[in-house]
Structure 1
């Protein structure tokens, strides 16, 4: 996927109130700060340090209070992170339509945002193909990098009852004779492998182990990220400690 227009560059002052961030646009004076919409409800640990380079898009919608949207951030190590979580589903949708994910390439019908499950969820993608069980694909955006163990990424970045619910729903899909896939979309160029964040959400970690045992598939794909655009390019290992679940 390509960004609809060239992203503008700035320097992060701070993120606040979850949905807002102040930046100094490139070439502007320090007092000429700009407020961006931050499309990320998470903690954004390791993604929002003051002084880092940010890239933002500009909307031509005159009704928007904040027409600028924070898209990317570059840390001091030169690693690029996509903080706009909506991009994960867009990337996966593109990869599915182009059949770039080998494990899911056989499906000809792709339906986004379909209601399912006993807990009233919406699956990110329902895949169908004649002669195949329906395949339910839940997408998760991964941006949390361990600052002590090089390349180790985790999901979630905080305790998440919503993420727990989605795993339970996927387990039910398998129990009902369908296929279920949890697809971790890695939006941090410094991450080279993925694990559940047991240290932040042990309930989620336990559910992942239950899901793997039940037959839910866990895939991780890394995106190539630049101010011009993004694309899923590489499958990464997914590993759960204490269980032989590595995928590469």
Structure 2
């Protein structure tokens, strides 16, 4: 997908809370919105180069969204609204081999006590519920999720097991918002319960997928399937 809004470069200063950050734009300290509630501490380091997307909504308190940052030479997109859009595009273009047989794509569909990102249906009316998680945490080629505790994420995994128990298909896709990585694994040190739930889901037939992306300052598109190590 292409980011059509204007984007500019800035220097990161600090992040007082989950939703805001201060950056230096041409020598002027400016407050911006951070569309990611994760910690992103290994990316948002004082002095690092970040990318801002200009927003046109006059009712906003901030003019820019902080959508990514450079970790060395690698650009990492951190916009938590992006993964579902990228996966939606990939599903329509049949870029996810396991899910390429599903022709009907519905967003934000409820099953039980959870709302999943996608409900997929094939020509035989067989269904698959799909949850998408954006991944921004990387260490030496290893990518991990989550980078902050997530009770909601664990709940989604347990509900996917319930989906599978009804005879439907269920999957979780970890979209790695960068390229050039080696594998994905749950971040047990951050959230042991999530890792345990992910392994339980896999043992109950839930499909665990990970894909990296072609990423630039103005584009992000699904790339290759990445090894999952549980």
Where on the TM-score scale, by shorter chain, does this alignment land: which range?
Answer: over 0.9
User: What is the aligned counterpart of 1:123 among 116, 121, 125?
Assistant: 116
Q: Is the 8 A contact 1:133 1:177 kept in 2?
A: no
CA–CA distance in structure 1, aligned partners of residues 190 and 35 of structure 2:
22
Structure 1: give runs of 5+ residues left out of the alignment. 241-248
Where do residues 209-224 of structure 1 align in structure 2 (5 Å cutoff)?
A: 209-224=199-214
User: What is the aligned counterpart of 2:128 among 129, 135, 141?
Assistant: 135
Structure 2: give runs of 5+ residues left out of the alignment. none
1:165 aligns with 2:155: yes
Q: CA deviation at 1:50?
A: 0.8
TM-score, normalised with respect to structure 2: 0.96
What is the SS of the residue equivalent to 2:209?
strand
CA–CA distance in structure 2, aligned partners of residues 200 and 132 of structure 1:
39
Alignment-derived partner of residue 12 in structure 1: 12
More strand by share: 2
Q: CA deviation at 1:195?
A: 0.5
Alignment-derived partner of residue 100 in structure 2: 105
TM-score, normalised with respect to structure 1: 0.90
Residue deviations 1:3-38 (CA, integer Å, cap 9, x gap): 01231111101112111111112xx12xx1111100
What is the SS of the residue equivalent to 1:13?
strand
Structure 1 residue runs of 4+, over 2 Å off? 188-192
Residue deviations 1:153-202 (CA, integer Å, cap 9, x gap): 11111221111100000000110100001100001335321011112211
Q: Is the 8 A contact 1:145 1:190 kept in 2?
A: no
Q: Is the 8 A contact 1:6 1:227 kept in 2?
A: no
